[in-house]
């Protein structure tokens, strides 16, 4: 074990348990001065002391492990981009804050978001009817719920896999087995022909499914209904962790959690993880093997973060042609911007030019981290001539250090940093000064305006 400093986490844990430094020092048989040095990062945490702490507090050793603060740092850079640009804080300050005091960093972001929301609401009252982008909507609150948990809910995932074993869920017979469980376990009859995609009537205990749903989609809706019927209290308890019970955000979170359970039931963790590893995360192979859609497989791959049986940590995103992000989840350090859209150089937008084909890109973020991204466009139609459908690009990405485990890395020189496409968080907060694709001026940086000169790079800042 190398030198590890965990002063902030140790101090916070001690204060949460209501212990003084002297009391904790007696409990783990250390001198108060030694403990004080540990809490102020004047001494590293050694293995013997770590073992005493884990025994005294009943926590795993991983609690004191150095946090992966890259994603939190990226969020801080977005939230405080103007302060960084004007020199009030440095990028190094943000790195240190995220690494040593993550709780303070998150509180600072929440306060900044609240301040901007109030400012924009005042602007609306004053007659400026611009959007209040920083005031999170209920749907955005649900995204944050899963984002903070890295898109994995262990209680639901393990419960779903246990149910799959109990009912004998088998590939190729999923709908029949789920229908039997609904009928025999809950007296629910499943029928097709609904004008809705699905509709459950609690009075008659009938689950109606649309004929337009593919078999895999019908199975998913049935599994979602089982989540409500078998684990309703757990769904409510988990949703209440972030939102007041009965609120819109709470209800939407329950739906998201039920969908999480459904994916884990239709695609049980152990079997899905084993097949994903065997197929080197070939998305189209997994979709065909399990009889589900491309998007369903990508979303499930982004949840494979069970302790001691982790898959590749992925980020998952779904966008439309206009750049609207309707789904985003991440088990990596990749940070999805909440301000100013996404980067037009990202290959998720290239996917619209060739629907049905998987596009592969090695992309580099401003902090130097590189990612392997796959993207493919998917289309859904309500059926019938002239009726508008829905087209999305589905992106799935992992850090470059995991890329060799993916079939999509074949033929790529993953060690060539210069071959990566430079992308950013979004034009308004992007730190790349000479990007020719920039679509908006950077926030907080004065522009160079010269009527006698033009350059290939739009919105050139004075310091560029």
Do residue 147 and residue 245 come from a single domain?
A: yes
Angstrom distance (rounded) from CA 138 to CA 251: 9
pLDDT at 2: 47
CATH code of the domain containing 318: 3.30.450
Do residue 327 and residue 347 come from a single domain?
A: yes
Do residue 29 and residue 109 come from a single domain?
A: no
pLDDT at 85: 64
DSSP characters over 42-57: SSPPPHHHHHHHHHHH
**120 lies in some domain:** yes
pLDDT at 132: 41
Do residue 245 and residue 365 come from a single domain?
A: no
3-class DSSP state of 1 = coil
Share the mean pLDDT of the chain.
84
Band (134; pLDDT cuts 50, 70, 90) = very low
What are the distances in angstroms from CA 339 to CA 82, 305, 314, 318, 430? 13, 28, 22, 17, 10
Residue 426: which of 413, 435, 418 has the closest Cα?
435
Residue 86 has pLDDT above 70, yes or no: no
Please state the length of the chain.
464
Do residue 416 and residue 356 come from a single domain?
A: yes
pLDDT at 120: 55
Contacts by residues 54-60 (CB-CB < 8 Å, ≥ 24 positions apart): 56/24, 56/27, 56/28, 57/13, 57/17, 59/13
Q: Which of 114, 135, 156 is the last residue of a domain?
A: 135
pLDDT at 181: 97
**290 lies in some domain:** no
The predicted-structure confidence for 377-399, as pLDDT tens digits, reads as follows 998 876 667 777 789 999 999 99
pLDDT at 135: 58
The predicted-structure confidence for 225-260, as pLDDT tens digits, reads as follows 999 999 999 999 999 999 999 999 999 999 999 999
Angstrom distance (rounded) from CA 324 to CA 331: 21
Do residue 237 and residue 203 come from a single domain?
A: yes
**185 lies in some domain:** yes
Work out the angle between the directed axes of helices 215-239 and 174-186 (0-180°, nearest 10): 50
- Output DSSP code: residue 368: S
**293 lies in some domain:** no
The predicted-structure confidence for 26-78, as pLDDT tens digits, reads as follows 888 888 888 888 888 788 888 888 888 888 887 776 666 655 666 777 777 76
**275 lies in some domain:** no
Do residue 193 and residue 261 come from a single domain?
A: yes
Q: Going by C-beta distance under 8 Å and a sequence separation of 6 or more, which residues neighbour residue 148? A: none
Structure token pair of residue 238: 């988990």
**23 lies in some domain:** yes
pLDDT at 167: 95
pLDDT at 96: 75
The span from the first CA to the last CA of the chain, in angstroms, equals 43
Do residue 181 and residue 236 come from a single domain?
A: yes
pLDDT at 1: 41
Do residue 141 and residue 262 come from a single domain?
A: yes
**427 lies in some domain:** no
Do residue 78 and residue 53 come from a single domain?
A: no
pLDDT at 81: 65
Angstrom distance (rounded) from CA 342 to CA 319: 10
**367 lies in some domain:** yes
Domain with 367, as residue range(s), is 309-422
Mean pLDDT of 406-422: 92
Do residue 121 and residue 95 come from a single domain?
A: yes
3-class DSSP state of 342 = coil
Backbone dihedral angles phi then psi of residue 125, each to the nearest 5 degrees: -65, -30
CATH code of the domain containing 213: 1.10.10.2910
How many domains does one find in the chain?
Answer: 5
Do residue 395 and residue 412 come from a single domain?
A: yes
pLDDT at 296: 94
**Whole-model pTM?**
0.73
- Output DSSP code: residue 407: G
Residue 442: which of 455, 431, 432, 428 has the closest Cα?
428
- Output DSSP code: residue 61: G
């Amino acid at each position: 074990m190398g030198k590890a400093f965990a002063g902030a986490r140790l101090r916070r844990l001690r204060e949460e348990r209501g212990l003084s430094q002297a009391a904790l020092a007696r409990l783990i048989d250390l001198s108060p001065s030694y403990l004080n040095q540990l809490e102020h990062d004047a001494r590293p945490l050694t293995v013997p002391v770590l073992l005493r702490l884990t025994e005294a507090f009943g926590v795993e050793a991983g609690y004191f492990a150095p946090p992966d603060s890259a994603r939190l740092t990226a969020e801080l850079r977005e939230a405080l981009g103007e302060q960084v640009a004007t020199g009030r804080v440095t990028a190094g300050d943000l790195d240190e804050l995220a690494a040593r005091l993550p709780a303070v960093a998150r509180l600072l972001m929440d306060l900044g978001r609240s301040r901007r929301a109030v400012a924009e609401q005042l602007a609306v009252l004053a007659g400026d009817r611009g959007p209040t982008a920083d005031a999170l909507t209920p749907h955005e609150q649900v995204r944050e719920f899963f984002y903070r948990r890295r898109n994995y809910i262990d209680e639901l995932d393990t419960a779903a896999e246990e149910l799959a074993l109990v009912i004998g869920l088998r590939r190729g017979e999923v709908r029949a087995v789920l229908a039997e469980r609904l009928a025999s376990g809950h007296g629910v009859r499943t029928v097709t022909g609904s004008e809705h995609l699905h509709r459950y009537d609690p009075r008659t205990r009938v689950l109606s499914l649309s004929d337009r749903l593919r078999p895999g989609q019908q199975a998913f809706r049935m599994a979602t209904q089982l989540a409500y019927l078998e684990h309703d209290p757990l769904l409510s308890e988990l949703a209440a962790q972030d939102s007041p019970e009965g609120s819109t955000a709470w209800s939407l979170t329950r739906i998201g959690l039920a969908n999480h359970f459904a994916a884990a039931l239709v695609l049980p963790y152990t079997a899905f993880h084993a097949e994903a590893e065997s197929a080197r995360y070939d998305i189209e192979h997994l979709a065909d093997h399990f009889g589900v859609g491309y998007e369903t497989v990508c979303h499930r791959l982004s949840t494979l973060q069970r302790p001691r049986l982790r898959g590749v940590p992925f980020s998952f995103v779904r966008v439309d042609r206009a750049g609207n992000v309707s789904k985003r989840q991440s088990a990596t350090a990749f940070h999805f911007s909440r301000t100013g859209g996404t980067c037009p150089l990202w290959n998720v937008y290239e996917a619209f030019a060739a629907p049905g084909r998987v596009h592969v890109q090695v992309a580099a973020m401003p902090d130097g981290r590189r990612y392997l991204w796959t993207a493919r466009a998917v289309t859904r139609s309500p059926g019938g001539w002239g009726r508008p459908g829905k087209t999305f690009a589905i992106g799935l990405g992992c850090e470059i250090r995991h890329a060799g485990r993916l079939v999509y890395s074949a033929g790529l020189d993953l060690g060539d940093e210069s071959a990566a496409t430079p992308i950013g968080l979004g034009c308004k907060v992007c730190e790349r000064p000479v990007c020719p694709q920039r679509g908006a001026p950077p926030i907080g940086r004065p522009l160079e305006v010269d009527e006698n000169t033009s350059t290939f790079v739009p919105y050139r800042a004075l310091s560029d």
